[in-house]
């Protein structure tokens, strides 16, 4: 429990509560003090004759007696007297204009410099600083220079957390963010509330912002956001690929603000409070509002209310300045909006595969061990190394692996023709020609990676006759080598059940047997008897 100063009125309250029969624990909870503190004052009161069962004198008498005892105690006074000798030094450490210290640091300096460690506590030091009104003077105001830019030159971007909002799609409350873009010249803005801060959402918000403005500024200044900047570095920022592609598509440039330098984009920093207040106001007026109507109201507010009020810095109305001066200066938009691709980084593993969104794709042998950039756009997956495309695959939708045998080195063919994979092929061929071809096609893709799968086919086939295995392989041959073990087992069970049904005849009763006819009864017509 933190330190809570006890004033005389609190002491009287402790004594009075105890005298009325309350326990030390209940007194501590009610007044917010530590039980040891309450117990100390209770014992002090009992020692002075204010125990339970005796008449309690007036408040002035009790407090006067207890104050005399506390003054004689001297424990607290001794720490204050020790610090009083270094009063001027403490004042200088805390209030100096050059490199002033916070009270905690000043306490450490005084304790170590004058060998007071163990003699005084930080609580006593804080009490001394507070009682003597020692505090740093007002900070010197920092001068600043407001930079105004020509129309269409720059937009500043920021993200801000605005609060909790009910997500109807997921049926739970989630953190809501505000994407904010401010044009540096007119101060006209774009505000979009969103649940996500990933690269797709970040780029898409920019696209909608340009559409709202009807153009694109020459430069975009943004913070070191993870969605936009992978490595925050003033001189060589590694930009998110999707973000960089967007800037190139619209013909603008990206400037990254320095780390811990919010004034590099000061025109949008102040708008964080504006966006947060807008969210709270709209939520207060309509607690059941959904996200889409909320964003529509935000854009309407920017053009009809905020944009038509005089700006505190420029003295102009942002939306009117935007219409008259800034919008004509923006870069014209392309005929079609930018469609962001999904980018991520992947490692080429020793088995020549990369893993992307739960699917596996082969990469040529020369790039094993490298980290590559993967781009998913439409139905294609493209792989880049240092900006150069090294592989392209169709996007895997229903398949676990997309494999190109040409990506594997020559020794993979040797593994296919020798060793354990070769023995597996021989065992499969012994069960039937089609089954052998099916297992061989599985191993041909990647003899080592698919060896367990091929062994699973052999294990499944061992429980059935050669005829059933061969028929199942013939039915699934058109799927080779992508046929799954689960499907093969299902087809095997189907043929086995059909064979069992054909082999087992139904038992006939004696009554049923009377109606049996020989086969020629149905093939040779009977002669008709004369009537």
Give the count of alpha carbons within 13 A of 126, CB side only. Answer: 9
Residue 16: give its domain's CATH number.
1.10.10
- pLDDT at position 261 is 59
Residues 274 and 382 in one domain: no
Of residues 530 and 243, which shows the higher confidence score? Answer: 243
Whether the per-residue pLDDT at 357 is higher than 70: the answer is yes
Please tell me the least confidently modeled range out of 56-70, 146-160, 166-180, 389-403: 56-70
Domain total of the chain:
5
Length of the chain: 531
Residues 307 and 424 in one domain: no
Residues 204 and 301 in one domain: yes
Residues 111 and 226 in one domain: no
Alpha carbon distance 390, 410 (integer Å) = 19
Residues 402 and 421 in one domain: no
Alpha carbon distance 221, 228 (integer Å) = 11
Q: What mean pLDDT comes out for the span 479-487?
A: 85
Residues 121 and 194 in one domain: no
The domain of 468 spans 410-503
Residues 177 and 325 in one domain: yes
Helices (H), 162-315: 199-213, 241-250, 266-269, 271-285, 291-304
Whether the per-residue pLDDT at 225 is higher than 80: the answer is no
Give the count of alpha carbons within 13 A of 296, CB side only. Answer: 5
Residue 281: give its domain's CATH number.
3.30.420.10
**pLDDT 10s digits, 144-162:** 556 678 899 899 988 888 8
Alpha carbon distance 314, 258 (integer Å) = 25
- pLDDT at position 119 is 77
Residues 21 and 57 in one domain: yes
In a domain? residue 145: no
Residues 207 and 322 in one domain: yes
Residue 355: give its domain's CATH number.
2.40.50
Q: Which residues of 12-35 are buried (b: 16+ CB within 10 A; e: fewer)?
A: bbbbbbbbeebebeebbeeeebee
- Give the chain's mean pLDDT: 81
Give the global pTM: 0.55
- Look at residues 316, 334, 337 and name the one whose alpha carbon lies nearest to residue 186: 316
Whether the per-residue pLDDT at 75 is higher than 70: the answer is no
In a domain? residue 143: no
Q: What is the dihedral of CA 506, 510, 514, 520, to 10 degrees?
A: 40
In a domain? residue 22: yes
**pLDDT 10s digits, 85-95:** 888 888 888 88
**pLDDT 10s digits, 284-341:** 888 889 999 999 999 999 999 888 988 888 889 999 999 999 999 999 999 999 988 8
Residues 316 and 168 in one domain: yes
């Amino acid at each position: 429990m933190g330190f809570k100063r006890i004033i005389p009125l609190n002491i009287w309250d402790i004594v009075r509560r105890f005298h009325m029969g309350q326990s030390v624990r209940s007194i501590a909870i009610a007044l917010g003090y530590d039980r040891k503190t309450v117990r100390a004052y209770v014992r002090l009161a009992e020692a002075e004759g204010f125990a339970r069962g005796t008449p309690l004198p007036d408040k002035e008498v009790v407090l006067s007696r207890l104050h005399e005892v506390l003054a004689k105690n001297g424990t607290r006074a001794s720490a204050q007297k020790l610090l009083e000798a270094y009063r001027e030094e403490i004042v200088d450490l805390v209030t100096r204009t050059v490199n002033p210290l916070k009270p905690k640091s000043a306490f450490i300096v005084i304790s170590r410099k004058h060998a007071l460690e163990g003699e005084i506590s930080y609580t006593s030091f804080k009490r001394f600083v507070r009682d003597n009104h020692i505090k740093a003077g007002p900070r010197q105001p920092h001068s600043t220079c407001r930079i105004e830019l020509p129309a269409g030159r720059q937009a500043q971007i920021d993200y801000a957390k605005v609060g909790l909002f009910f997500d109807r799609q997921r049926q739970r409350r989630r953190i809501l963010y505000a994407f904010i873009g401010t044009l540096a010249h007119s101060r006209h803005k774009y505000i979009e509330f969103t649940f996500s801060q990933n690269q797709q959402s970040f780029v898409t918000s920019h696209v909608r912002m340009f559409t709202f403005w009807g153009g694109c500024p020459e430069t975009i200044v943004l913070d070191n956001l993870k969605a936009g900047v992978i490595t925050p570095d003033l001189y060589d920022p590694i930009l998110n690929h999707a973000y960089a592609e967007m800037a190139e598509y619209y013909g603008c440039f990206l400037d990254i603000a320095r780390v811990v330098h919010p004034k590099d984009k000061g025109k949008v920093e102040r708008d964080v409070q504006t966006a947060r207040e807008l969210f709270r106001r709209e939520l207060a007026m309509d607690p059941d509002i959904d996200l889409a109507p909320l964003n529509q109201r935000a854009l309407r507010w920017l053009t009809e209310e905020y944009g038509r009020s005089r700006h505190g810095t420029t003295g102009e109305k942002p939306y009117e300045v935007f219409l008259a001066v800034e919008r004509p200066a923006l870069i014209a938009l392309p005929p079609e909006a930018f469609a962001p691709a999904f980018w991520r980084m992947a490692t080429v593993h020793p088995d020549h595969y990369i893993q992307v969104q739960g699917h596996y794709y082969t990469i040529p042998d020369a790039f094993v061990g490298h980290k590559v950039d993967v781009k998913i756009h439409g139905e294609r997956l493209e792989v880049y190394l240092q900006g150069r495309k090294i592989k392209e695959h169709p996007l895997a939708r229903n398949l676990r692996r997309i494999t190109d045998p040409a990506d594997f080195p020559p020794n993979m063919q040797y593994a296919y023709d020798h060793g354990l994979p070769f023995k597996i092929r021989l065992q499969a061929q012994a069960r039937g020609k089609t089954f052998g071809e099916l297992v061989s096609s599985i191993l041909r893709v990647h003899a080592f990676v698919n060896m367990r799968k091929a062994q699973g086919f052999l294990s499944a086939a061992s429980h059935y006759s050669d005829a059933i295995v061969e028929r199942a392989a013939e039915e699934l041959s058109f799927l080779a080598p992508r046929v799954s073990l689960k499907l093969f087992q299902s087809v095997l069970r189907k043929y086995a059940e059909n064979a069992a049904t054909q082999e087992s005849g139904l038992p006939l009763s004696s009554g049923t047997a009377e109606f049996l006819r020989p086969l020629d009864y149905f093939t040779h017509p009977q002669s008709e008897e004369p009537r």
